[in-house]
Structure 1
């Protein structure tokens, strides 16, 4: 397979390791370079008399190095991976050295010995648990008592938030605009004290909307309405059906453990394509969001994973990577987030994914999703046939032919007068000017296939593929 630098960087989570790896991604620092379809290797010159033996198992991928570093990949592994992406022709050897063959054989033996995951034990309705100790019963009673106490605090906090929101609307959004940051932070802190971190994060977002353009009152009003609905719903948790109750609890900030998801939800087996991958830093944690699409089920899945202290992410996903295996989705009204199971890497794809929707289908899917899950923040969508274009106001849009795009009169669509093309309709893009011009340059004025998130007001592009027409040289 052919590796790109973006795919290599996705596996190097530590910024310091990436910087040192870039310094080592030079042919003069390496000897005995080689690669096969499943492995790459080389010897990196160090300060000692012996070079560092560095190898990569490309099937996962996984790294090995004779240096004492405990970070994987280390700077030598990062340098070798970047060199493989930039100058693969330099890795001309075809016979793996003995130390690499030994490591690869041990990995294969270890993976072959891994026992299959057993299904969680269940108890039939008319069956008594075998030898249930008294201590377990006491622990269960204590757990239920803690849950009841937490539920009481959560519902009390939701009632206080409801009153606060009513007072906010009585004063009006004009008065809210002049409130200091402490006004919002104090309410968020009270919600955290009442074990409602999900609501607290939304309250902290409200003052930031004042600096996001002239439409901030409409956006703030919408979020206040969503908060009010969630607060009212939280006060009736015990009366909700299990599916809705689980969704509301997650919105309130009650995390579901991965182990519980794997034990209670069915796994979905497919061939998964990594459509996009973004990594951000939050309070000394690296947070990686990977959107995947099942090639047979056509189902989107969001895998969110964390890295602390430069450690590797739990699942070695790379952009445009293809994996065979299973994902297990979190319970909810519109399941999107998933826990990866055993995923076997089998290459990458530079081709645009098959399928794709047009604006009318997008708006219909979003309306359906919003009716099912009122707190839906973004909907994954693969759009095809749009041309990036800048409007007369400087904003960026994706233009679609009116006859094919939609017959809807949704206010989310930009009017054709803004682009001086009366035969077309456009979706607004949530991107800066640099990203807009990059999309325009890739398209060459021809339609693109773009994957991203629809927020209800704009489309946030995450990945794009040029159309075959755009790649055809002119005569």
Structure 2
């Protein structure tokens, strides 16, 4: 992207914030008051921000990354100063300095930018020369023995976990909350010792479910069944089809490099959000290829308390090369190369092709055949309306199906049929009196209490919208939406 290109919107900038506190603090710094020495050019923005000390903070943003540096002591990434500077730039408050070939950034900014350019040139030169590549293990036989030893440890861990599950069911789930979380954590630690972090994660989830609220024994039984299925799949992995065996290896925690063919496209950034546990912060970035029609997931990780470095502004388009992983249904991919950096598209980027609620649920059902441990699957719902039901918010088809009502597909247990009521207004999204029931999908519990829900309701205003999100056994989580009168404007919901 160049100066020279289209500036980001304020909404795209705020989508980069690692948390709500940074979003609010960055918003306060988005005016010219605290800034001096600002400038932009060559895909970079810089400025000095007055703080509580005598020396202002030096902030530089490479918007082609994006990447950030700031002299402040914040551990957040990007910090509030970088967000404030980008907001000021997005609002036209930062003047361009020179052009691509004649950028006069101050020395303190140019030093950091030059270092980034040098590293990028070195990486390109290595790629052009064939690069050092991955020469493989120095000793293939030693690598094979290490892999066998780890597989044996995981097998022992899976067998021990099977015994733990059998003891749990023999004693009855109703009393599973009495030992407390310590016993679950001890079992999880045993899975870590067995070098099976995927199994350890599932054990911790079981421990969190015990006594977690009304109906917890049912939820615990479901997760125990899935964990048992994963154990048995690992113990029988040699008899599984190749793709399913790769999924099992990934689920128990055996990582493998991406091996699919490189896919080059102009990718629309659909959504970006973080999730954290006591050890790691995980950032999920959903992309949609304009030419290929593929949906891809990039994962980026950071230590607890710090957001990952990879960050894309929602609604922007980037030309990039991705290499998919074999497992995860081919959704997860690795970023190989950014060919052309971020820009708001001159031609509106349309949302992914979607369908009604039944089609989305059927897609999730098909994905479950390939990966029974799949929590969610990305889908796009078209012509749906947010509607309030007795048990919470849901997204309902704006029109009843031609053969209404029918099966919702392989995962149809998630769907609801919206029944007609005589006193409903025509703009509520629910059927009028005498209309056939429409398919609807409930929002997840987290989405019911998220501010993005009200943004979606306001965007719809009772009219049909297109919504991208993740569907799973707990319902639908909306991540982005498009209004009918602005199909090229991606509205983030997380």
TM-score for the superposition, normalised by structure 1: 0.80
CA deviations on 1:79-138 (whole Å, 9 max, x unpaired) are 3212123xx233355646853299478866775563152278799xxxxx9xxxxx95xx
On the 8 A contact 1:33/1:93 being kept in 2, the answer is no
Moved more, 166-175 or 360-369: 166-175
Please say if residues 358 and 406 of structure 1, whose CA atoms lie closer than 8 Å, have aligned partners that are also in contact: no
Say which SS state the counterpart of residue 286 (structure 2) adopts. Answer: strand
- 1:468 corresponds in structure 2 to 485
CA 1:19–1:468 in structure 2 vs 1: closer, same or farther (change >3 Å)?
Answer: closer
Q: Distance in 2 between matches of 1:333 and 1:81?
A: 35
1:299 and 2:312 correspond: no
The residue aligned with 2:442 is 428
Per the alignment, residue 345 of structure 1 pairs with 341
- The structural deviation recorded for 1:368 is 1.3
Correspondences of 1:301-316 after superposition (within 5 Å): 301-308=296-303, 313-316=308-311
Measure the CA separation in 2 of the matches of 1:202 and 1:26: 46
Distance 1:470 1:297 in 2: 19
Query: Which moves more between the two structures, 396-405 or 439-448?
Result: 396-405
Trace 1:10-409 onto structure 2 (pairs within 5 A).
Answer: 10-11=15-16, 13=18, 24-31=29-36, 33=38, 35=40, 38-42=43-47, 44=49, 56-63=61-68, 76-85=81-90, 88-92=91-95, 95=98, 99-100=104-105, 103=110, 111=120, 114-115=124-125, 117=127, 118=130, 136=138, 139-176=139-176, 178-209=178-209, 214-256=214-256, 260-261=257-258, 264-283=259-278, 285-308=280-303, 313-332=308-327, 334-343=329-338, 344-348=340-344, 352-393=350-391, 395-400=392-397, 401-403=399-401, 407-408=406-407
In structure 2, stretches of 5+ residues that fail to align are: 1-5, 425-430, 489-494
Measured at CA, do residues 374 and 193 of structure 1 come closer, stay the same or move farther in structure 2, by a change above 3 Å? same
Counterpart residue number, 1:126:
none
In 1, Cα distance between equivalents of 2:462 and 2:151 = 55
Q: Which residue in 1 is equivalent to 2:3?
A: none
Q: CA RMSD in A?
A: 3.9
How much has 1:252 moved relative to structure 2? 0.7
1:455 aligned residue (462, 468, 472) = 472
CA distance in 2, matches of 1:306, 1:140: 29
Distance 1:168 1:80, change over 3 A: same
Question: Which has the larger helix fraction?
Answer: 1
Residues 382 and 466 of structure 2 are in contact (CA less than 8 Å); yes or no, is this contact kept in structure 1?
Answer: yes
Q: CA deviation at 1:229?
A: 1.4
- Distance in 2 (CA, whole Å) between partners of 1:467 and 1:288 is 29
Change (3 A) 1:342 1:70: farther
The question of whether the paired residues in 1 share the 8 Å contact of 2:247 and 2:327 is answered with yes
How far apart are residue 390 of structure 1 and its match?
1.0
- Following the alignment from structure 2 to structure 1, what is the Cα–Cα distance between the partners of residues 134 and 33? 60
State whether structure 2 residue 414 is matched by structure 1 residue 417: no
Pick which of 212-221 and 239-248 moved more. 212-221
**How many residues get paired?**
450
Change (3 A) 1:469 1:447: farther
After TM superposition, give the deviation of residue 165 of structure 1 in Å.
Answer: 2.2
Per the alignment, do residues 359 and 311 of structure 1 end up closer, same or farther by CA in structure 2, a change over 3 Å counting?
Answer: closer
Distance, in Å, in 2 between the alignment partners of 1:99 and 1:70 is: 27
C-alpha distance in structure 2 between counterparts of 1:424 and 1:30, whole Å: 54
1:382 Cα deviation after fit:
1.2
The Cα shift of 1:323 comes to 0.9
Does the residue aligned with 1:155 lie in a helix, a strand or coil?
A: helix
Q: TM-score, structure 2 length as denominator?
A: 0.77
